Structure 1
Amino acid sequence: MRPFTRKPRRSPRSRRGALVVAIGLAPVFAAVAAPPADAASTLRSLAEAQNRYIGTEITGNMVNNATITSLAGTQFDMVTPGNEMKWDTTEPGNGSYNFGPGDNVVSFAQAHNMRVRGHNLVWHAQLPGWVNSLPRNQVQGAMEAHITTEVNHYKGKIYAWDVINEPFNEDGSLRQDAFTNAMGTGYLADAIRTAHNADPNAVLYINDYNIEGENAKSNGLYSLAQSLLSQGVPLGGIGLESHFIVGQVPSSMLANMQRFAALGLDVAVTELDDRIQLPASGSSLQQQANDYATVVKDCLAVTRCPGVSQWGVGDADSWIPGTFPGYGAASMYDNNYQPKPAYNATATALGGPPATSGGPVHAVGAGKCLDVPNSTTTAGTQVQIRDCSGGSNQTFTHSSSGALSVYNGGDCLDASSRGTSAGTKVIIWPCNGQANQQWTVNADGTVTGAQSRLCLDVTGGSTANGALVELWTCTGRSNQQWTLG
């Protein structure tokens, strides 16, 4: 069983730690993500072409961050508020409601033509103290009033509600909390019926973690779902949170989704992230890309999977580093909101164009190939030219996002230390999607750095094996001429 603790309430202050977690050893800098130039290749457009959505989570001051909102509004078409609709925010005092924070998220979504997933109505955590202090005979009334008031407030603005959040223990038994203590198992049906009465058009979910594959916990939920449906309870869907450790997406996830769908339920991936032990290596980022692609493909294979939502927009706002020390880099975008290999894999899984096939990068003037010395994978190694061998250390892939990657996407061609001056070393570094790893192949045969606008150059115009490659002011000379493939 994967180690897991619940997602804590996050604030701008609690996210601060995440902001200093960098991929590898590269320093952090502020940058606005560069979405694909072709709007048809955005994640949301690709998902919509598959009759699916692709979502994200926004909470706290994220809604006021122009970098985050621009990226989220461009790439995603569903938003989940991280904390703004939970009980301790919406009803901090008995009968005293505060919908302002949630309204801000809804307004953002409406301005960007995004749907909203309501999260959540009944959860054992983030409950205000007054709920836990109620006499048992008053809990049901308080729960029904809370659900009715909140769902009525957002009626017509919410696509789906996580009515019940994380109700199960790992062995498949129900948690003991204020609601089970007062109402037993009956609280689940009562909560869902109450939400349905307030908004009959919203899809009503039970949402939980560690239920992605077939195991004791998902078996318990499956039995509960069968029971609720047999009672005519208007349960509409199951939410698979999908907080994974890289390389540990369950092999039974597709089969598990299919069995819930066979009950007539929607099965959504609601909080996807895929945490990596830091510093993230090229191979772990590639495995993360594979994991994201697997989850998306599983969803596409299940007719009743309406979509996939990532928890957070980028690594900088992720809850992972603050909860799992030593782990991070869990999303499709890095700390600077630049796309990572997981972004490209997700786009391709959704039907976008795959990365260009790998092949050699020929140095025209020298008649040699771009080469990683001695086939090393050591980050920071300066690349060179050498007689063409066809080896993996000379096989580069130019992706749709502009990366030139080697070793099956594990490492990328990189302007050292994000240098933008003539003479900057061109090195290999774990792929992270940042601007200093994006390259434009021009019609005149030059290859320019997206950040520096300088040309890929063989130092001194050398034609010798081992001549080093750097950035230099574009001159059009043969030592700056390259062909791919």
Structure 2
Amino acid sequence: MLRTTILKAGGVAAAGALLLLAWPGGQAGAASSSLRQLAEAKGIYFGTALTQSNLSNSTLTTLAAAQFDMVTPGNEMKWDTTEPSNGTYNFGPGDAIVSFAKAHSMRVRGHNLVWHSQLPSWVSSLPSNQVQAAMEAHITTEVTHYKGQLYAWDVVNEPFNEDGSLRSDAFTNAMGSGYIADALRTAHAADPNAKLYLNDYNIEGENAKSDAMYALVSSLKSQGVPIDGVGFESHFIEGQLPSSIKANMQRFTALGVNVAVTELDDRIQLPANSATLAQQATDYANVVNACLAVSGCVGVSQWGVGDADSWIPGAFSGYGAATMFDQNYQPKPAYDATVAALGGASGGGSSSASGSPSSSPSTSPSSSPSSSPSGGSAACKVTDAINAWNTGLTENITITNTGSAAINGWKLVFTLPSGQVVTNGWNATYAPTSGTVTATNVSYNGSLAPGASTTIGFQANHTGDTAAPTSFTLNGAVCGS
């Protein structure tokens, strides 16, 4: 299988308080809580992968911060980035990911310390009698740099071939299978509190490769080697999940280690259609349900935030649409299915089969909603949450219809504090971008049944005043809080 080296595009480095409301793509009937909230309520985490380049895309990072509570760096902690030449270290890219995570109350899975791929040529060129010292120095230096800041490390990544034999690489050639125990012991010595994992793909079901991992973990445990968990990467093809995933998780946890789904995606042969998207939704729900059913499965992480930053199209020709969010970071049926599996209410992942929603978020006053307000007043409640940093902020606003009649088309009016200027928004059109602003529904969230809610939001620049608007009116009616 081609590996996770291509994460594309993405995100804004927005420091600040944790976004606690539903994800920025919330809409009528959509989840009332984020994946992170629902997962935490079940005692697990729900994470994602980010690269440094993702941190310049505000849509991506706003969604990531709202939805996920764990971050795995896509490439920034791998050997070719952190020690490109012998003894010369570069932790800047990894530090940027850690800073983003800290700013949004997210934990970090370190990925990874020892891997045959993305390995600088200088390591492979070392004489065999120097490889162990280089490996130990690399692990010690990197783990020490991040000591106390990371939840876990993928200490050794992808050690096995498909038949269960160990890969032939610089480490096995120099040290045999003993390099794995040595790597774990070295990482533990550098940070005794970090959880230490072995991570691999195609070990999700019971097969020769997972049998080899099982035997290795059993042997390491019997030797007293520090190992806390096994990562199931879970790069699936739509409709092809192994039926033994739950049983396989259970046999590993019976050894006294945790398991985690570390790099989940579920690729679809393009173009996607309603049937393949529905199957993908079932696949996602099955993965989450398996984790929830196994005591010792600690969490699930998707590899990437949405289809727009997924590695799949660049690695598997003709495949894509592999995540819960489409090219515009709108929810797909897999999102709703995941929410439901986590015990939440859902019903908004309805983007088209091509991956493009029927309407994109916009701040342009020329964007027209699919329906006009009915003209009647509305009984409503509004809650909002602000995430502010140096000169910017994001605000998520949840509108609830508290009346007894449906609202068909709405306009929410509020006044921004002086100095706040909307730069982009989601799930509504915003005009003007400062002063008294009118947010108008878009195509998918114009109808609010009695008791229904929708979440909209925007990013804004500010000059120091980061307060929320003091009042909101919906179709002319003042909303309570």
| Offset of residue 61 of structure 1 | 1.0
- Relative to structure 1, is the Cα distance of residues 144 and 72 closer, same or farther in structure 2, using a 3 angstrom cutoff? same
Answer yes or no: is 1:83 the counterpart of 2:75: yes
- Relative to structure 1, is the Cα distance of residues 315 and 193 closer, same or farther in structure 2, using a 3 angstrom cutoff? same
Answer yes or no: is 1:270 the counterpart of 2:270: no
Match of 2:119 in 1: 127
CA separation in 1, counterparts of 2:238 and 2:84?
37
Answer yes or no: is 1:236 the counterpart of 2:228: yes
User: Does the residue aligned with 1:206 lie in a helix, a strand or coil?
Assistant: strand
Amino acid aligned to 1:60: Q
Answer yes or no: is 1:349 the counterpart of 2:346: no
- 2:4/2:74 contact within 8 Å kept: no
Determine which of 443, 451, 456 is the counterpart of 2:442: 451
| Offset of residue 68 of structure 1 | 1.2
Deviations 1:375-416, CA, capped at 9 Å, x for gaps? xxxxxxxxxxxxxxxxxxxxxxxx2x385x9xxx9999x859
User: Does the residue aligned with 1:121 lie in a helix, a strand or coil?
Assistant: strand
Match of 2:204 in 1: 212
Determine which of 128, 133, 142 is the counterpart of 2:134: 142
Answer yes or no: is 1:5 the counterpart of 2:5: no
Match of 1:175 in 2: 167
- 1:35/1:71 contact within 8 Å kept: no
Answer yes or no: is 1:105 the counterpart of 2:102: no
Amino acid aligned to 1:6: R
- 2:204/2:245 contact within 8 Å kept: yes
- 1:276/1:328 contact within 8 Å kept: yes
- 1:240/1:268 contact within 8 Å kept: yes
How does 1:404-483 map onto structure 2 within 5 Å? Answer: 420=368, 444-445=405-406, 447-448=408-409, 450-452=441-443
CA separation in 2, counterparts of 1:189 and 1:314?
36
| Offset of residue 60 of structure 1 | 3.1
User: Does the residue aligned with 2:114 lie in a helix, a strand or coil?
Assistant: strand
Determine which of 25, 42, 53 is the counterpart of 1:34: 25
CA separation in 2, counterparts of 1:281 and 1:89?
38
- Relative to structure 1, is the Cα distance of residues 34 and 455 closer, same or farther in structure 2, using a 3 angstrom cutoff? closer
- 2:234/2:265 contact within 8 Å kept: yes
- Relative to structure 1, is the Cα distance of residues 415 and 143 closer, same or farther in structure 2, using a 3 angstrom cutoff? closer
User: Does the residue aligned with 1:174 lie in a helix, a strand or coil?
Assistant: coil
Deviations 1:39-68, CA, capped at 9 Å, x for gaps? 961110000001100000001310222111
Match of 2:274 in 1: 282
Match of 2:315 in 1: 323
Q: Which has the higher helix share?
A: 1
- Relative to structure 1, is the Cα distance of residues 135 and 291 closer, same or farther in structure 2, using a 3 angstrom cutoff? same
- Relative to structure 1, is the Cα distance of residues 168 and 106 closer, same or farther in structure 2, using a 3 angstrom cutoff? same
- Relative to structure 1, is the Cα distance of residues 93 and 335 closer, same or farther in structure 2, using a 3 angstrom cutoff? same
CA separation in 2, counterparts of 1:80 and 1:58?
6
- 1:121/1:164 contact within 8 Å kept: yes
Query: Which structure 2 segments of 5+ residues have no match?
Result: 11-22, 362-366, 373-399, 411-440, 448-481
Amino acid aligned to 1:5: L
TM-score (norm: length of structure 1): 0.72
- Relative to structure 1, is the Cα distance of residues 88 and 67 closer, same or farther in structure 2, using a 3 angstrom cutoff? same
CA separation in 2, counterparts of 1:455 and 1:334?
21
Identity %: 66
- 2:336/2:349 contact within 8 Å kept: no
- Relative to structure 1, is the Cα distance of residues 279 and 173 closer, same or farther in structure 2, using a 3 angstrom cutoff? same
CA separation in 2, counterparts of 1:328 and 1:40?
28
Answer yes or no: is 1:222 the counterpart of 2:214: yes
| Offset of residue 9 of structure 1 | 4.4
User: Does the residue aligned with 2:297 lie in a helix, a strand or coil?
Assistant: coil
- 1:282/1:411 contact within 8 Å kept: no
CA separation in 2, counterparts of 1:133 and 1:291?
43
| Offset of residue 88 of structure 1 | 0.4
Deviations 1:397-439, CA, capped at 9 Å, x for gaps? xx2x385x9xxx9999x85999947799xxxxxxxxxxxxxxx
CA separation in 2, counterparts of 1:82 and 1:454?
34
| Offset of residue 34 of structure 1 | 2.0
Answer yes or no: is 1:298 the counterpart of 2:290: yes
CA separation in 2, counterparts of 1:202 and 1:423?
52
CA separation in 1, counterparts of 2:109 and 2:444?
42
Query: Which structure 1 segments of 5+ residues have no match?
Result: 16-31, 356-398, 425-439, 457-485
Match of 1:359 in 2: none
How many residues are paired up?
372
Match of 2:299 in 1: 307
Amino acid aligned to 1:451: V
Determine which of 244, 249, 261 is the counterpart of 2:241: 249
User: Does the residue aligned with 1:306 lie in a helix, a strand or coil?
Assistant: strand
TM-score (norm: length of structure 2): 0.72
| Offset of residue 8 of structure 1 | 2.5
Match of 1:92 in 2: 84
Q: Which moved more, 1:161-170 or 1:339-348?
A: 339-348
Q: Which moved more, 1:447-456 or 1:124-133?
A: 447-456
Amino acid aligned to 1:306: V
- Relative to structure 1, is the Cα distance of residues 176 and 455 closer, same or farther in structure 2, using a 3 angstrom cutoff? closer
| Offset of residue 35 of structure 1 | 3.7
Amino acid aligned to 1:221: M
CA separation in 2, counterparts of 1:415 and 1:36?
13
CA separation in 2, counterparts of 1:422 and 1:303?
46
Amino acid aligned to 1:139: V
- Relative to structure 1, is the Cα distance of residues 77 and 339 closer, same or farther in structure 2, using a 3 angstrom cutoff? same
Determine which of 24, 35, 54 is the counterpart of 1:43: 35
C-alpha RMSD over aligned residues: 3.0
Match of 1:472 in 2: none
Amino acid aligned to 1:282: S
User: Does the residue aligned with 2:198 lie in a helix, a strand or coil?
Assistant: strand
CA separation in 2, counterparts of 1:121 and 1:94?
15
- Relative to structure 1, is the Cα distance of residues 454 and 70 closer, same or farther in structure 2, using a 3 angstrom cutoff? closer
Deviations 1:122-155, CA, capped at 9 Å, x for gaps? 0000011110110000000000000000000000
- 1:33/1:336 contact within 8 Å kept: no
- Relative to structure 1, is the Cα distance of residues 97 and 11 closer, same or farther in structure 2, using a 3 angstrom cutoff? farther
Amino acid aligned to 2:442: Q
- Relative to structure 1, is the Cα distance of residues 455 and 188 closer, same or farther in structure 2, using a 3 angstrom cutoff? closer
Higher relative contact order (CA 8 A, sep 6+): 2
